[in-house]
Structure 1
Amino acid sequence: MAIPLSRLGGSAFNHRTSVDLEEEYDRLRDLARAEADKKKSCFDRAHEAYERGEKAEAKALSDEGKRHQRKQDEYNKQASEFIFRENNAPGRVAEDTIDLHGQFVEEAEDILEARIRDAQARGQMHLHVIVGKGNHSTGRVQKLKPRVEQLCRELGLDYATEENEGRIYVDLGGNRVGVPPPLPSQPQGYEGDHGGSHRPRPQKRPQERPQQRPPQQQEEDDLWGCLKGCCLVM
């Protein structure tokens, strides 16, 4: 299934920006969505070909779908890095703050975990995490905040929602958080909270020990397994 994307434009940025920057962010996300659509088409046709017994065609379509998957991932990676640089450039946010506007949920989780570990290694005792209020998410539901809270629990860190509901205060020193401290002053030009976009993290499935099969049967089973796996990530 193609990842549902909306054109966030200026709502993904925490500061006044140019139309060119907004369009570049949307362009990268749109390219990723186009690759997702092509991937789905390939996997659907691969499944149909396999059902008809045309295993060579099914394999070729499956491989093509995987190429589109790699392109989709690369465009999303470029968009994630682009918006992160814009929103977290020096002077855009305070040094003890990270802004996750414009990130998919999985992207935000990876970025935040890396930042937390780096901050702890440098002896930083807390971090303000800007997750947005969900104003631009489907149903105005916060998507980043629950995942950030889950990550903090997994890392054994206490946290609290700040006075501004689009922000989370995270203690990095293993202490309990009662009432979070006052909001830090943000650099001039910072414009506040927007929602995040959602890209579900693929669920990991337990691996089973394969049984020995004749070579021809094993080859057919491998192709069928590949097609089923492809369908799971669409």
Structure 2
Amino acid sequence: MAASSYPMTRIGGNAFNHSQSGEAEAEYDRLRDLARQEAGKRSSCFDRAHQAYERGDGAAAHQLSEEGKQHAAKMDQYNKQASDYIFRENNAPGRVADDTIDLHGQFVEEAEQILEQRIRYAQQNGQTHLHVIVGKGNHSEDHIQKIKPRVEQVCQELGLQYSTEANAGRMYINLQGGPATMSPLNSDHQGGQQGGFYQGPQQGGQQQGGYPGQQQGGNYQGGNQQNNNNDELEKLAMKLLPRILRKLDGCCTVM
């Protein structure tokens, strides 16, 4: 998975595209913070696993690597909960039009999966276009839009025409294969679509009431360099551990 997503830092109220209560902001922050804590624990375990490997302690390296994987799984769970939560808050009925999806507060990989499922839903229900709120990047690192390039990539891969709207934080996608030109009737973003209000991508064949439907265990690591380095360390340790364990076989028992 590409490492171009948001770093795992506090987003807070900036993740909401509407006026929101302090309780909602705190809950979103809490979930992302928990994910970041698990990422730190994962990094620590993989660092120590590498150190154990370097000193020839294969058993300890294996144990620490397994602990790191457990923390990684918890990190994924908290990030998914945060992704679901912010999607539900930003895309509740009445907050966006039926032909619009808001990706504020999502990591890039999360936004990509949500968008792909939303496009499939729209096409299956005969919808002609989709407005995508991607944000202007005002609250991103270096004020660079990170979700918009991934939305463009998804459209290119699916052969869909797209354009940036007058509001630079919004994109228009033509789902019929023609030019990405908004008609006057749809330019106010209030053009209702056939098929009713979109309640969120499907997960396991069931609608999830406004929650994005990313698969559990997704690798939403926030794209920070430290996470990537630790992934490489884990791969190296896992590649070399079997040789170490074979040497230790017969003289010790690996728990």
TM-score normalised by structure 1 residue count: 0.79
For 2:182 and 2:145, the matched residues in 1 are separated by 22
Flag the 1:47–1:9 CA change in 2: closer, same or farther, 3 A. same
Residue 222 of structure 2: aligned partner: 199
1:15 corresponds to 2:18: yes
Report how far residue 180 of structure 1 moved.
6.5
| Cα contact 2:7–2:223 (8 A) shared by 1 | no
Q: Any idea what SS the aligned residue of 1:80 has?
A: helix
For 1:134 and 1:218, the matched residues in 2 are separated by 43
Q: Any idea what SS the aligned residue of 1:145 has?
A: helix
Aligned with residue 6 of structure 1, among 9, 24, 35: 9
Alignment of 1:73-92 (within 5 A): 73-92=76-95
For 2:223 and 2:111, the matched residues in 1 are separated by 11
1:220 corresponds to 2:232: no
For 1:218 and 1:167, the matched residues in 2 are separated by 49
- Of 170-179 and 134-143, more deviation after overlay is shown by 170-179
| Cα contact 2:58–2:245 (8 A) shared by 1 | no
1:61 corresponds to 2:61: no
Residue 217 of structure 2: aligned partner: none
Report how far residue 176 of structure 1 moved.
1.7
| Cα contact 2:39–2:221 (8 A) shared by 1 | no
Aligned with residue 175 of structure 2, among 167, 172, 175: 172
Residue 188 of structure 2: aligned partner: 183
Report how far residue 200 of structure 1 moved.
3.6
- Aligned residue pair count: 199
For 1:79 and 1:118, the matched residues in 2 are separated by 22
Percent identity over the alignment? 61
Alignment of 1:28-67 (within 5 A): 28-67=31-70
Letter of the structure 2 residue corresponding to residue 150 of structure 1: Q
Report how far residue 5 of structure 1 moved.
2.4
Flag the 1:59–1:180 CA change in 2: closer, same or farther, 3 A. farther
| Cα contact 1:129–1:169 (8 A) shared by 2 | yes
For 1:115 and 1:221, the matched residues in 2 are separated by 47
Report how far residue 9 of structure 1 moved.
1.5
Residue 226 of structure 1: aligned partner: none
Q: Any idea what SS the aligned residue of 2:163 has?
A: strand
For 1:150 and 1:222, the matched residues in 2 are separated by 44
For 1:106 and 1:21, the matched residues in 2 are separated by 23
Residue 119 of structure 1: aligned partner: 122
For 1:120 and 1:221, the matched residues in 2 are separated by 53
For 1:43 and 1:129, the matched residues in 2 are separated by 38
Report how far residue 219 of structure 1 moved.
2.3
Residue 230 of structure 1: aligned partner: none
Report how far residue 199 of structure 1 moved.
2.9
Q: Any idea what SS the aligned residue of 2:137 has?
A: coil
- Of 175-184 and 5-14, more deviation after overlay is shown by 175-184
| Cα contact 1:28–1:75 (8 A) shared by 2 | yes
Q: Any idea what SS the aligned residue of 1:160 has?
A: strand
- Of 24-33 and 174-183, more deviation after overlay is shown by 174-183
Flag the 1:222–1:168 CA change in 2: closer, same or farther, 3 A. farther
TM-score normalised by structure 2 residue count: 0.72
Flag the 1:62–1:163 CA change in 2: closer, same or farther, 3 A. same
Flag the 1:19–1:154 CA change in 2: closer, same or farther, 3 A. same
Flag the 1:123–1:51 CA change in 2: closer, same or farther, 3 A. same
- Measured on the aligned residues, the alpha-carbon RMSD in Å equals 2.6
